[in-house]
A = this chain, B = another copy of it.
Amino acid sequence: MNGQSIWLSLLRRDLLLAARRSADVASVIFFFVIAASLFPLGVGAEPAMLRAVAPGVLWVAALLSTMLSLGRLFAADHLDGTLEQMLLSPQPLIMTIIAKTLAHWLISGLPLVVLAPVLGLQFDLSGREILVLTVSLLLGTPVLSLIGSIGAALTLGVRGGGVLVALLVLPLYIPVLIFGAGAVTASAAGLGAQAGLSLVGAMLAVSAVFAPYAAAAALRIALE
């Protein structure tokens, strides 16, 4: 059986698992919505201010909820020994990682992108800002998953990996946050959003090329 169909079945399996643990997946999305919606409650609801903070709030919420879901990327499979089986599967490890990262994005990144416009409306952003916001998330969330995969692999089975993942991943997330949110604020201020968006796009390209290799290396080391 050729590697490709292993790859597909792996992807399918991750999605199936997600479907079974639907509540578990929902919790990430739910967290995103909560985090975003609580702010107006805490901050007090002046439309002007809300509109000003909206992009930042939504992006931060997206970033945090992705960071939370990273635990699920490898840890569960590590505990019950499935990860060993994956290393023993006759397909290059890097393919495995790409499949799992893609699945992770489909499960915990894409939904955020889909939800963003709705939340944008809550903060009454203009149609144009909402568009930019969605695009920036569409480009940005995959980067979060890709970088996240490295962090998750590095801290696999390490005492209290949680904080370490955050420590490693965050510095790399922040530029995405700044440019992503920046793009929206810029377009709100009437400046073009292209600059920010294209930078996020560039990060996507770079991380898509390098992250899987780093993650693969980290994973091999972790399972020695």
Residues of A within 8 A of B (CB): 20-27, 30-31, 34-35, 38-39, 41-44, 49, 52-53, 55-57, 59-60, 63-64, 68, 158-164, 166-167, 170, 174, 177-178, 181, 185
Contact = CB atoms under 8 A, between A and B. Distances in A.
Nearest to A38: B60
A56 B35 contact: no
Nearest to A165: B27
A184 to B, nearest CB: 10
Contacts of A159: 20-21, 23-24
A42 B181 contact: yes
A55 B185 CA distance: 23
A44 B56 contact: yes
A38 B166 contact: no
B166 A42 contact: no
A174 B27 contact: no
A97 B134 CA distance: 44
A187 to B, nearest CB: 14
B166 A30 contact: yes
A15 to B, nearest CB: 15
A59 B174 CA distance: 22
A38 B180 CA distance: 13
Contacts of A27: 160, 162-163, 166
Nearest to A46: B52
